[in-house]
Amino acid sequence: LCYAEIAVRTSKTDLHSGEYGGAAPNAHEELSRLLGRLKGADGKINIPGFYGPVKRPSKAELAAWKKLPFNEKDFLNKRVQGKGLVGLKKASVLERLWALPTFEIHGILGGFTGDGAKTVIPAEATAKVSMRLVPNQKLATVEGQLVAAVKRFAPKHVTASVRFLHGADPARIKIDTPAFQLLDQAFKEVTGRGTVPARAGGSIPVVPALASAGAPVILTGIGLPDDRLHAPNEKLELKQLWDGIEVFRR
């Protein structure tokens, strides 16, 4: 993961739109355009060099994914609960979720957002963004690429900066290990079903260090797809909790 703040400044102070509107640059507008250049409407991340080390999943892995009970319409209607999916059309939904790096905007700060009305032209705007990295990408390299892209895409009348909050190199867990076989057996004994290897994004910085040291790292979950992770009404069903405890007890 690479988490950062991208800030744009257009003047020394906020301005009155009645006196300066139409001529003075607006920090929110400039930031929006900058973000739109970093990631296009087609879902492609336009940071030069960003996709360079990214490799497609193996044929065996893609074949295994096709056997999963994954339905795009159900994913949209029951989990996303929106009107449509986005992303690179040349990649399947599972590839977009599990195999390709991402660029997401989590929040935008600046200007006037309180109750009522205030005709201000904001002098500064900040976006909180993150990039989920995949195997072969390096955090330090991606950080440099983002800084260079912001500098390249920002217009001359704008002062743009990047501040990194936290991050970690990506890691891919090996499943051909005795530890994984023990986990798979435990799930079979408790639930009657084996495990299904899948990819997912998670910010656990110690994992790459452990994996590179040869330690047997296993990441597994006990939740359900509709648990609404990070949402206000996140849940965990009790049966999943008790089954999970029993799996780890074994």
pTM of the model: 0.87
Coil, helix or strand at residue 231: coil
At 143-189, the pLDDT tens digits run 999 999 999 999 999 999 999 999 999 888 788 888 889 988 999 99
Q: Are 169 and 133 in contact (CB under 8 A)?
A: yes
pLDDT at residue 173, as a whole number = 79
Q: Is residue 36 over pLDDT 80?
A: yes
At 86-139, the pLDDT tens digits run 999 999 999 999 999 999 999 999 999 999 999 999 999 999 999 999 999 999
Matching fold, domains 2-54+101-167 and 178-249: no
| Average pLDDT score, the chain | 92
pLDDT at residue 95, as a whole number = 94
Structural domain boundaries in the chain: 2-54+101-167, 178-249
Q: What is the DSSP code (8-state) at residue 167?
A: E
Question: What's the CA gap between 86 and 70, in Å, rounded?
Answer: 17
DSSP secondary structure, 66-110, as one string: HTS---HHHIIIIII-SS---S-TTS-HHHHHHTS---EEEEEEE
Decide which of 3.10.20.30, 2.60.40.10, 3.40.50.150, 3.30.70.360 is the CATH code for 2-54+101-167: 3.30.70.360
pLDDT at residue 66, as a whole number = 85
- For the domain made up of 178-249, give the CATH fold: DNA polymerase; domain 1 (1.10.150)
Q: Are 160 and 196 in contact (CB under 8 A)?
A: no
Q: Are 21 and 43 in contact (CB under 8 A)?
A: no
